[in-house]
């Protein structure tokens, strides 16, 4: 869950020339992380102000172990999800959509669960860790919209609220334990089973079919472009390792070190919105209409 760089950071550049050349040649697959969504007001886990410095996210084991863990998750997420739902794509998301439409990107894999790439109009995004706008039953596996659950939770918890002391990247709003204890859960409407957000928790495996789809995108690509990810967790790092092992260039644009730096051919340290809009200019790609 945590990772810290060791030794001296590898040299970085502030120029996007090599990234632009790779995109101009086409068949580049992008792997995006939380850093691309911070400009939309969604915090990250591992940046300078990342939430992992201050709290431990819900794990899959804790969620399935008992009702107390689930109550903690849903009470906090019931308030926090509204922040995610209100967030709008930023210049970086729109630039990725424009690069995809122009044929410079052959695919987009995101580690984010905020749905902002889809909201920006990027087609065929692989949401590696799922999406907060869906809910799944652990019993019958029925999938439903988060809006549907939100309405049911509001009905079961009239007037529920509290002082949010901190917002985390997955919509986890930190609340006092006295507030959490009063929250009422609701079951699946089909089988009365346990409801879980359709996202991959820490300690949970990404569905195999989704992983294989990502490997295919990497295998079919000429290069991999990492955007705003520290690559701390293996679920994303494995695709960078795979690309490097098969001789494909790896280009990383991120603020700060990443766990994949040693596999990269190019390391660029720039804010994502600035970098991606700059790439549109270099490649003479029209930005999306406002």
Evaluate if residue 115 carries a pLDDT over 90. yes
User: Roughly how many angstroms between the first and final C-alpha of the chain, as a whole number?
Assistant: 38
The string of pLDDT tens digits covering residues 3-60 is 455 566 677 777 899 999 999 999 999 999 999 999 999 987 644 444 444 456 889 9
* Contact partners, residue 24, CB within 8 Å, separation at least 6: 104, 283
Exposed/middle/buried for residue 231 (C-beta within 10 Å: 0-12, 13-18, 19+): buried
The answer to whether 270 is annotated as binding is no
Question: Phi and psi for 56 in degrees, rounded to 5?
Answer: -110, 120
* The pLDDT of residue 50: 44
Evaluate if residue 108 carries a pLDDT over 60. yes
d(CA 278, CA 255): 16
> Is residue 94 annotated as a catalytic residue, yes or no?
no
Active-site hit among 55, 104, 129, 242: 129
Evaluate if residue 218 carries a pLDDT over 50. yes
* The pLDDT of residue 53: 42
d(CA 105, CA 216): 14
Token pair for 233: 């967790």
The answer to whether 51 is annotated as binding is yes
pLDDT (average), residues 196-209: 95
Strands 28-32 vs 223-227: parallel, antiparallel or unpaired: parallel
The answer to whether 244 is annotated as binding is no
Give me the sign of the Cα torsion angle 122, 127, 131, 135: positive
The string of pLDDT tens digits covering residues 80-102 is 888 888 899 999 999 999 999 99
Return the residue matching tokens 């990492």. Answer: 226
pLDDT (average), residues 235-248: 97
* The pLDDT of residue 160: 87
Could you give all domains of the chain from N- to C-terminal order, each with its CATH number?
1-42+89-129+206-290 (3.40.50.1220), 51-86+134-199 (no CATH)
The answer to whether 40 is annotated as binding is yes
Return the residue matching tokens 């999938």. Answer: 143
The answer to whether 109 is annotated as binding is no
The string of pLDDT tens digits covering residues 148-171 is 999 999 999 998 876 666 777 677
d(CA 11, CA 150): 47
* The pLDDT of residue 288: 72
Residue 41 or 209, more confident: 209
* The pLDDT of residue 136: 98
The string of pLDDT tens digits covering residues 261-279 is 999 999 999 999 999 999 9
The answer to whether 60 is annotated as binding is no
The string of pLDDT tens digits covering residues 121-152 is 999 999 999 999 999 999 999 999 999 999 99
d(CA 236, CA 228): 12
H helices present in the chain, as ranges: 17-25, 60-65, 67-86, 91-101, 116-119, 146-156, 177-181, 208-220, 234-245, 272-282
Furthest CA-CA distance within the chain: 57
Question: Phi and psi for 166 in degrees, rounded to 5?
Answer: -165, 145
The answer to whether 38 is annotated as binding is yes
The string of pLDDT tens digits covering residues 170-193 is 778 887 888 899 999 999 999 999
* Contact partners, residue 98, CB within 8 Å, separation at least 6: 280, 285, 286, 287, 288
d(CA 240, CA 214): 11
């Amino acid at each position: 869950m945590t990772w810290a760089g060791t030794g001296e950071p590898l040299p970085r550049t502030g120029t996007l020339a090599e990234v632009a050349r790779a995109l101009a040649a086409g068949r580049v697959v992008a792997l995006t992380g939380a850093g691309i969504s911070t400009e939309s007001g969604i915090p990250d886990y591992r940046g300078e102000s990342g939430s992992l410095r201050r709290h431990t996210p819900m794990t899959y084991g804790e969620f399935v172990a008992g009702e107390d863990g689930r109550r903690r998750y849903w009470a906090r997420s019931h308030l926090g999800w509204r922040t995610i739902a209100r967030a709008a794509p930023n210049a970086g998301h729109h630039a990725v959509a424009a690069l995809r439409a122009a044929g410079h990107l052959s695919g987009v894999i995101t580690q984010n669960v905020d749905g902002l790439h889809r909201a920006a109009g990027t087609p065929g995004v692989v949401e590696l860790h799922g999406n907060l706008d869906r809910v799944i039953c652990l019993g019958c596996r029925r999938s439903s919209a988060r809006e549907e659950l939100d309405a049911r939770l509001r009905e079961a918890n009239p007037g529920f609220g509290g002082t949010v002391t901190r917002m985390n990247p997955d919509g986890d709003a930190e609340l006092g334990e006295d507030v959490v204890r009063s929250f009422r859960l609701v079951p699946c409407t089909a089988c009365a089973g346990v409801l879980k957000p359709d996202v991959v928790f820490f300690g949970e495996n990404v569905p195999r079919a989704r992983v294989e789809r990502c490997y295919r995108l990497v295998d079919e690509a000429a290069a991999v472009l990492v955007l705003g990810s520290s690559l701390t967790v293996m679920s994303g790092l494995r695709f960078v390792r795979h690309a490097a092992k098969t001789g494909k260039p790896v280009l990383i644009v991120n603020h700060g070190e990443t766990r994949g730096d040693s596999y990269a051919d190019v390391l660029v340290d720039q804010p994502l919105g600035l970098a991606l809009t700059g790439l549109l200019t270099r490649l003479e790609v029209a930005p999306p209409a406002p």
